[in-house]
Homo-oligomer: A and B are copies of this chain.
Amino acid sequence: MIELKRRAMATDHTRTAILSAAERLYAERGFSDVTLRDIVAEANVNLAAVNYHFGSKDELIAELFVTRSIVLNHERLAELKAAEDAGGGRAPIEAVMRALVGPTLRGCLGPEKQRSTAARFMIRASIEAVPPIRKIRNREISHLRRFAAAMRRALPGCADVDIYWGLHFALAMAHQTIRDSERLDKLSEGLCDLDDVDGVIDRVVAVTTLALTAGRPKTSKAVTSRDRTGT
C-alpha cells in the first residue's frame, strides 16, 4: 500500500499543474475573475480534473491557502527565532517587526521578475477574503499573537493596547504598500522607490518602532522623544 501511495503522489502531474496554474492566475487577476476553465486551460488539463482531484473549486482554493499560510508563517517565525537567538532570547523591537513584515514585502515588491507568485497569492487572499478562505483565516490570529508576545518581550513597559495597535499598523502599512503600490508610484511620480524592498521594509519598521517607543524611556539608544502628539 506504500507502493500505491507513492505512485499516486509521484506522478501527480495533473494535481500539481492545477495547483500552480491556479495560484499563478489567482495571484495575477484575483479570485473573482478567474474561472475553472481559465485554470485548466493554463494547466493544460481537462476541466473535470479539478473536481476529481480537489472535490470543488472552494477546496482547491482552501488547499492553496493553507499550504501557503503554513509556509509564510514558518518564514516569519524562523526570522523571529533567528533574531531572538542572536539576542540571547530577546530580539529588539526592530527585528521583531522586520520578521513580521519582511517575508511578505520581499515576496511582493522589488523588480517584476523576482516577485513570488506565492506571496502575491497570499495578498490576494487577504484582499478578497473569498468564503473558503475566510473560514480558515482564524488561525492567523494565534500566529499573530506570537508576534505580539515577542513585541512585549522587546518592550516590557509597553501597554498591551499599544502593542496590538502597533502590530496592526505595521501590517496595514506593509499590506497597503503592496496593494496600492501603483498609486503611490503615480502620486509621488516615481519618487518613492518601490523596487528598493529593503528601503521599504526599513520605513515600515522605523515608523512602527517610532510609534511604539515614543513617549517611553526605552532601554537602548534610539529615540528619546517626550510626548505623543495626539490624544
Contact = CB atoms under 8 A, between A and B. Distances in A.
A171 interface: yes
Nearest to A214: B210
Copies in the complex: 2
Determine chain A's interface SS by DSSP, over half rule: helix
A167 interface: yes
Contacts of A211: 206-207, 210-211
A225 B214 contact: yes
A206 B187 contact: no
A34 to B, nearest CB: 12
Given A214-B223, A225-B223, A207 B169 contact: yes
Interface of A: 32, 94, 127-128, 138, 140-141, 144-145, 148, 160-161, 164-165, 167-169, 171-173, 175-177, 180, 183-184, 186-188, 191-192, 199, 202-203, 205-207, 209-211, 213-214, 222-231
